[in-house]
Amino acid sequence: MRTGDGPQTAMKSILVLGIGNILLADEGVGVHVVREMIARAADGRLALPEDVELLDGGTAGIDLLDVLAGRRKVVVIDAVEADAAPGSVLRLTPDDLAGRPAADLSLHELGLLETLAMGEALGHPPQQVVIFGIVPKTIDAGLDLTAEAAAAVEKTVSLVAEELTR
């Protein structure tokens, strides 16, 4: 799911990217946030600046290289392991994640860092990357978010909307 699609659509300068596996309960929370934003934008409950694109990135990693390249700003939403209560929302940068041991990073965080590094090496990195990490309660098989992650969706939609005005 993506807003702004179409063969004639120019790349927008800001990308909001939700990543995660929706088959693993809270691990898919980033996708749930972007899907909620898409729904709200479609029915008028969420006003977005003209230069914003919303994208459900699923579990893609390096495949997102061309989608991230050259953007002025990329806002990523994903589940993140952290010493915080389930449902907590953390605002991070790639530098915050780069300092963590690889064993502490999810597959998405590692893929995101690699993709950003490749974009840098190719000379087309996004100018700014902000990550909203949501602490999962469970990543067991299941399609439903826990109550904690579901509450974080609402909070994260607001935080991302606020970030887009910066």
Which pTM does this prediction carry? 0.86
Cα 152 to chain centroid, rounded: 13
Q: In the chain, what are the domains? A: 14-163 (3.40.50.1450)
| Lowest-confidence segment of 93-102, 115-124, 157-166 by average pLDDT | 93-102
Cα–Cα separations (whole angstroms), residue 31 to 68, 80, 120, 136: 17, 13, 25, 13
25-78 pLDDT per residue, tens: 999 999 999 999 999 999 999 999 999 999 999 887 777 888 998 899 999 999
CA dihedral 81, 59, 142, 79 (to 10 degrees): 20
- Strand 89-92 to strand 14-19: parallel, antiparallel, or no bridges (unpaired)? unpaired
Q: What is the pLDDT of residues 99-149, one digit of tens each?
A: 655 444 454 444 677 777 777 788 778 999 999 999 999 999 999 999 999
**What angle in degrees, to the nearest 10, is found between the helix axes of 147-163 and 29-42?**
60
Return the exposure string of 95-121: e unless at least 16 CB atoms fall within 10 Å of the residue's CB, then b: eebeebeeeebbebbebbbebbeebee
DSSP conformational letter for 63: G
